[in-house]
Structure formats: C-alpha cells, structure tokens
Amino acid sequence: MAPLRASTVLTSVLSLLSCFQASLVTAGPVNRRSDVLVKDYHPAPRAWAKQGPAPSTHLIHLTIGLSQSRFNELERHLYEVSDPFHPRYGHHLSAEEVHELVKPSDKASAAVHEWLQEYGVDPDQLRYSPAKDWISVTLPVATVEEMLDTEYSVYGHQDGSTVVRTEGYSLPLYVHEHISTVQPTNSWARLQRDQPRTEIKQRSTMVKRSSHVAEVADDWAPPASIPLPANSTIEAVCNFTAVTPDCVRTLYGTIDYEVKAAGKNKMAHTNYLEEATNRSDISIFLGKYRPEARAYAYEFEAISIAGGVLDNGTNVAEEGRDEEANLDAEYMIGVGYPTPLIAYHTGGRNPTYVPDILTSDNSDEPFLVWANYMTGLPDEDIPQVVSTSYGDDEQTVSRAYAEAVCNQFAQLGARGVSLFFSSGDFGVGQDETCISNLDNSTYMFMPSFPTDCPYVTAVGATTNYPESAAWRKLRSGLYFTSGAGFSNYFDQPAYQAKIVDSYVESLGGLYDGFYNKSGRAYPDISCIGQVFPTIWNGTTTGLVGTSGSSPICAAVFALFNDALIAEGRPPMGFLNPWLYSHGHNLFTDVTNGTSAGCNTTGFPTAPGWDAVTGFGTPYLPKLLDAFGLKK
C-alpha cells in the first residue's frame, strides 16, 4: 500500500465561509435590534444530502453553551493538579470550585437572556447546568431559525436516516462572544447503529464508525475451554486469539493485586446508541472467566441518563446491539473486580427525524449530555476512571462543538477523573474515506473525535506477546489497526511538544501534507485489543477493537488508584502531564507494527512515543513500585 499524492489544500474554506457570511448578513428578520455575524459554519459531510426545508413547527431541543470566561484559569488548574512536578499535584478541585471557574460572566448571562427574551422565549422553560454555563430549551424550528438567522433543512444520510440541521448560523453582535456553541446545528456525528442485521459484512464498518468495536474474521471460533491458569506465565495463560481476563491480568501484572479501597474507589464506562449492559450475558462471562465475580453481574450500578436504555430483564437481542456494552463491562469487571463499576447509559442516539409528527429533536449530542450530567454530580458520586469506546471522524463535527465538549472533559480532569477514550479501529483512517469534507477532494488522514481532545487519554490497541500494534483482517475484508493521528482542531498541548515533535522529525517527511503536525497527537497509551471472547445473547462471540483496549487500560488504572486511595493519597486524575513528563518510563514500549489506514501503511511504531501505540502498555507492579505502594 503506497501513500496517495497529497493535494493542496484548504484555501477554499475561506471563500466558502465568506460567501456564506455575505448571504446571511443580508437575510435576517427586518426588526432585529442589531447586526448579526456568522457564528459557525460547518458543511454537511458527503454522506448527507439536503432533502427539503424543515417544517416550521418541528421542535428542536436547543442547547446553548455560554462562554466560560475563566476557562483558561480552569485549564491552568487542570495542568497544575495533574503535573507531578507542581506543588499542587493531586490537589483536585471540588465541584463548587470548578463551577465557579466555568460559570459565565454576569454580562454574558445577561446578554444571552436578553437575546432569548427578544424572541419571546419563556424564562420558565429554560433549564440550566449547575454552573449555568449551559442553557437548554425546546422551541419550534421557526423560532430557532429567527434567533439564529438561518434556515433548517431535513438532511438524509446514505443509510436512510434523517435529521434536522443547518450548516451554519449567526448571532447578533451583542451575544456573539458570549456564546460558545448552539446545538443542534451543524454537528453530523454518527452515533447510531442502524445496520440491518443481515448485512453482517458491512456492519463491521458501521460499528467501528460509531463504537470502535469490530467483529473478527469468519474463521474465528470460540475456544473449547480456556483453563484458568495453573501457571502464571504469559505464555501459559494467554492465547491471543482468545484473550481472557486472566490473560489481561497476567499481561499487565494485576492478577496478584488485592483490592483495598473498593467503594471509595470506583470505575465506570459509558454506553450510547441504546446499548445496554446485559446482566445475564455478563454473568455467564464472569462465571467462565472470573467466577468469584459472577454475582456482581447483577449488582453493579447501571445509570440511565436522558432516557438511556437499561437492561430490565426483558430486552430482546438485536443483531450486534449490546456487544459493545457487554465487552466493556465484562472486561472492566474481569480485570478491576471488586472495584465497583458504574455503567452510564446515555439516551438520544441520532434522532431520526419523523416527518409530520411534532417530535422534539431529542438530544443528538450524547457526549455533551453525558458530560453535562457528570459535571453536575457531587464529588462523592464521581468515579475516578471512565472509559468510552465511541467516536466518529473529527470532521463530522464543527470545531466549536468539539471544543465545547472537550472543555467539559477538562472539568472532570480537574476534579481528579481519568478519562480514557478508544482511539479508533482503522489506523490513520478507514481506506477510501480519507477525504476532506471542505472540498470533497483533498486527501488527508482522518482524525477521530473525541479521542483527539487534549484533556483525555487516548488508548490504542496491541496484540500478542511481546506486544505488537494490533492488526487483523475482519469479516468485511477491512483491516483492524490501532487508531492514530493528529487533530485538525486541537493544538498540540504543551505536554506533548518535545516528544511528539521528535517523533515527527524521525519520520523524515513521510506523509507530509496528509496530517497536521501542529495538532494534538494520539494515542497516548495502549492496551491489548484482540481477540476478546465476549458473551453476547448467551453465546461467545469474538470481538476486536480499541473498544476493548480502553476499558482494559481504565481498569488497570482503577487498580492503581485503589492502591493510592488505600494509602490516603489522591487518585491519578488526568494522566497525560504525568505520562509525558516521566510516567511513560513505566510503560512497556511497543515497537513493532503500524497504524495502517487511508490506503497507506500508516505511521510506524518507534522506540518511545509513536502514533500507533503511544507509549505502550501499563504494568501495574512497575507503577506501584515507582510510587512506593504495596503490591
């Protein structure tokens, strides 16, 4: 596979934007009080086509982000409390302290309320986040169109689903700087699983694009039996075409660790797309692979946010659904037990627009809904690690939206939460899809969101022992490789500068023009990513993906936090500043394999950090030693 030719580049963005701006400035309501200015423009990706105007009575569940005037200060706190060389290391902020930092200025709040009032929005209808930095309200399209000086349309996706969106919107000058983003407007992320159950071949692709889990080749069969280890060497315990919890626990040195702070210390994973952790399946899995944890399948906490679907004992198995949820819970409990698990189920998958019915565009921004739920929790309810195995191409969302969500994650980091996100399953981008949305023709590597957020830890995938970068042919004919890349939205954070720049330099110009050297690079670390025997619908299915890597890395860090908390020390919190300054020395470097994708062989692994496996994989005894903790 040879790299395609780079073509140049993105000048069309500016002309596009200014055309758009010109047309909008002349098009607003006549009696408006002040001039409007384009706030955000983000065109529909190629897979979407405009079908017609949105009916004026269609209801939109509008979410308005107010500028967090002291966000820079919050970010400074985040970096200080996460930096092992800073005197405030580990002094995480309380909920109240964070709310104080992100609450909008009085001026911003007044201006936004004035704006809402100007359009007759009933103040009683407004709902606020605890810091009052997010306002939500349900309004008909006609009102929203006036407020945003734009027109909403019904857009159809190639797969038949439809949404109500607009590519751009404007705001009056007097609120322009006081609002960070308004949604739903121009976010096109696909957090939906909608593949017909018969089309298994294509489903691998779809599933990856939404939930970073991919099925394996047809020739995979569940092992007849996997013996519990009589011999604790990795060679004896691990079969890398059927990676069990005991294999993971041996590989990352957690098998002999005794949990001491269960309860004070918690771990969590997130579910979207109506995935529900299935207690019956999880119980079968644990009975097989972690027998002492079996009963816990019926005990862990499952929380529904915004109508998220929970297993109520009567769910009917639907092709592929719940595979991700089961994989996450089975491996987090399999590794982290008896550390308590919380499974968050956030509702509001892509809201299929139904013509002729006065439905509300129920939240279609589940990352934001989840983040806003979490930032509102009191300190005692916050888990210390959270794993998320969902994402989509960065270019399906606007930069403003991506930044707003990422800033919410920063709040959780400042409060001492480590957020792990799977890095994606198709290396630098899925073959044939690596084209810029801006002109439909520029070839580019395809970074993924939200793993590209600089305030989270992005987790890539490995295989075998000694570990190589993950690589496996899937049923669909596609190849699974560790997701990797450089953001086009988020600047390279200072903590990455030295290490990532020297990796880029070592590439000697390879792929110049295909990726953004000044962007946040990922992944940061990795964990085993293939092949996981997973119980789903009562039987064993073989799954691969960074979808498994992220919960596994999160569970290893849950155990590390357990040791810290047991000694009265703070949990690790946001890992990256520690990781890039010296934590990486404690990781097992992975130096074989590449992040193949976009019809190239992808970035190569290298000693130290690389855009395939980050710094490599964790080994708990080494972490405990370095912190002088009991094993």
Ligand X SMILES: *[C@@H]1O[C@H](CO)[C@@H](O)[C@H](O)[C@H]1NC(C)=O
Question: Which parts of this chain interact with ligand X (CB under 6 A)?
Answer: 10, 46, 221-223, 231, 233, 235-236, 239, 241-242, 278, 280-281, 309, 311-317, 319, 322, 431-432, 439-440, 468, 471, 487-491, 516, 518-519, 537-538, 592-593, 599
Q: Computed from CA positions of residues 326, 332, 337, 343, in that sequence, does the dihedral angle turn out positive or negative?
A: negative
The response to whether 608 counts as a known ligand-binding position is yes
Find the shortest distance in angstroms from Cβ 281 to ligand X.
Answer: 6
User: What is the distance between the alpha carbons of residues 84 and 75, in angstroms, rounded to a whole number?
Assistant: 16
3-state secondary structure at position 128: strand
Residue 136 annotated as catalytic: no
User: What is the distance between the alpha carbons of residues 86 and 89, in angstroms, rounded to a whole number?
Assistant: 5
Largest CA distance in the chain: 80
Find the shortest distance in angstroms from Cβ 205 to ligand X.
Answer: 11
Residue 482 annotated as catalytic: no
User: What is the distance between the alpha carbons of residues 512 and 7, in angstroms, rounded to a whole number?
Assistant: 11
The catalytically annotated residue of 149, 324, 425, 524 is 324
Find the shortest distance in angstroms from Cβ 52 to ligand X.
Answer: 14
Find the shortest distance in angstroms from Cβ 80 to ligand X.
Answer: 23
Which residues make beta-bridge pairs with 215? 543
Find the shortest distance in angstroms from Cβ 288 to ligand X.
Answer: 13
Nearest C-alpha neighbor of 568 from the set 265, 335, 258? 265
For ligand X, the closer of residues 57 and 314 by Cβ is 314
For ligand X, the closer of residues 143 and 537 by Cβ is 537
For ligand X, the closer of residues 105 and 315 by Cβ is 315
Query: What is the token pair recorded at 420?
Result: 């792990």
Backbone phi and psi for residue 37, each to the nearest 5 degrees, phi listed first: -140, 140
Backbone phi and psi for residue 439, each to the nearest 5 degrees, phi listed first: -135, 5
The catalytically annotated residue of 75, 323, 328, 452 is 328
The response to whether 164 counts as a known ligand-binding position is no
User: What is the distance between the alpha carbons of residues 193 and 211, in angstroms, rounded to a whole number?
Assistant: 9
The response to whether 392 counts as a known ligand-binding position is no
CB 82 within 8 A of CB 412: no
The catalytically annotated residue of 69, 180, 547, 550 is 547
Instruction: Tell me the CA distances in angstroms from 629 to 90, 565, 618, 625, one per residue in order.
Output: 16, 10, 16, 6
For ligand X, the closer of residues 361 and 394 by Cβ is 394
For ligand X, the closer of residues 30 and 316 by Cβ is 316
Crossing angle for the helix pair 399-414 and 71-82, to the nearest 10 degrees = 50
Find the shortest distance in angstroms from Cβ 477 to ligand X.
Answer: 7
Residue 328 annotated as catalytic: yes
Type and span of the H or E element at 471: strand 471-473
For ligand X, the closer of residues 26 and 441 by Cβ is 441
Spacing of C-alpha 46 from chain mean position: 22
The response to whether 589 counts as a known ligand-binding position is yes
Annotated binding site for Ca(2+): 589-590, 608, 610
Q: Which residues are catalytic?
A: 324, 328, 547
Q: Which residue numbers belong to the known binding site? A: 589-590, 608, 610
